Amino acid sequence: MEVLQNDNLPPPPGLIASLTAGFESIASHVWVILLPVLLDIYFWLGPRLSLEKMAAPQLAKLPEMMDLLLSSQPELLPTGAFSQERLAVEIAFFSDMFAHFNLFRAMRTLPVGISSLMAGRMPILSPMGGSLVIDLISPGTAFTWLIGLTLLGWIGGGLYYSWVAGILPSQTGRRPIIRDVIQTVLLSGIWIALLFAISIPLFIMLSVIMLVSPALTQLVLLISLFLLMWLVLPVFFSPHGIFTRQETALESIRSSIRMVRFTLPTTTLFVMSIFVLSQGLNLLWSVPDEASWMSLVGIFGHAFVTTALLAASFIYYHDTTAWLQLVLERLKTQQTSSVKI
């Protein structure tokens, strides 16, 4: 560290400076919040793609299936793992979830996607009354809709990220939007494959543990979520190289891992700050009732803040990778000079 100070290296990018620059960039180009605003208005006022009628018959069969299970394996009953009272609560929970569920929510994709407030709220009311409901009965039809909407979300997310990255001072020239979108789809496909590779063994393990001890299942799930957070942190900036350095999906993932590895403390603080600001303000934006036109204030406020935070993350990524490259070049030069001496 002393060597770096003697070489008069500039300090690493600051958290406050990146956040400030992000908000200033969006305030100067407020039109880039158009996609989040339109998506939220569609989730709020548009039709709902419902799975309620498809799920209702299956939920109605659960008590009978539970009776058959307990009659064939009565040893499960004393453990408290299963009971009719608990089953009734679970059925009521899932019935309410399917009543509010909107398959159009699949357009809110990760890791690259258009930010949305209403995707989390899944409203069923609006100032104009109840939403138009489109019921899906066939699982095959629902799966087809899911694939199509997810692909549409990836494309929209690529366009949204490209717009935000294109307004930043560090970006000059014409944006290769089509290339950005293609790499976005490839990156999202890689994320989905990794998610399945991690979640399927985890689901099997939790299912086995649940049969042994429901209390232990909660502890294992908490530990798993904590470990998952630390696995996600190194690839948090995996989309950013695509939009700021025109890298491919795989190159961008490697750049993210490399940057986080060398700047773990400050990058962790930056990511946590973005998360706290976003989730904390979401509580404010969600205060208006979904049947009130005041929800428009929350939609615009959420779109502005989340887009500004996205811009801040692009700025932080660009400045940090540039700073890291300078540091590594200085260290390499110093090592070469030491060898010659």
pLDDT digits over 15-74, tens only?
899 999 999 999 999 999 999 999 999 999 999 999 888 888 877 777 777 667 666 655
Residue 39 domain flag: yes
Residue 155 domain flag: yes
User: Which helix or strand (DSSP H or E) is residue 99 part of?
Assistant: helix 84-100
Residue 81 domain flag: no
pLDDT digits over 73-127, tens only?
555 554 444 556 666 777 777 788 888 889 999 999 988 999 999 998 888 888 8
pLDDT digits over 233-261, tens only?
888 999 999 998 889 999 999 999 999 98
Backbone angles phi, psi at 134, to 5 degrees: -110, 110
**Sequence-ordered list of residues with C-beta below 8 angstroms from that of 186, at least 6 positions apart, any chain:** 248, 249
The pLDDT, as a whole number, for residue 4 is 42
Task: Answer for the pair 201, 216: CB distance below 8 angstroms, yes or no.
Answer: no
Residue 72 domain flag: no
> Burial code of 144-179, b = ≥16 C-beta within 10 A, e = fewer?
ebeeebbbebbbbbbbbbbbbbbbbeebeeebeeee
Residue 63 domain flag: no
Number of domains in the chain: 1
Average pLDDT of the residues in 320-336: 80
Q: What is the DSSP letter of 329?
A: H
Residue 234 domain flag: yes
The range of the structural domain enclosing residue 290 comes to: 2-51+101-340
Residue 44 domain flag: yes
Task: Answer for the pair 246, 179: CB distance below 8 angstroms, yes or no.
Answer: yes
Higher pLDDT, 329 or 317: 317
pTM equals 0.85
Higher pLDDT, 300 or 208: 300
pLDDT digits over 257-280, tens only?
999 988 888 999 999 999 999 999
Residue 333 domain flag: yes
The pLDDT, as a whole number, for residue 176 is 77
The pLDDT, as a whole number, for residue 8 is 59
pLDDT, mean over the chain: 84
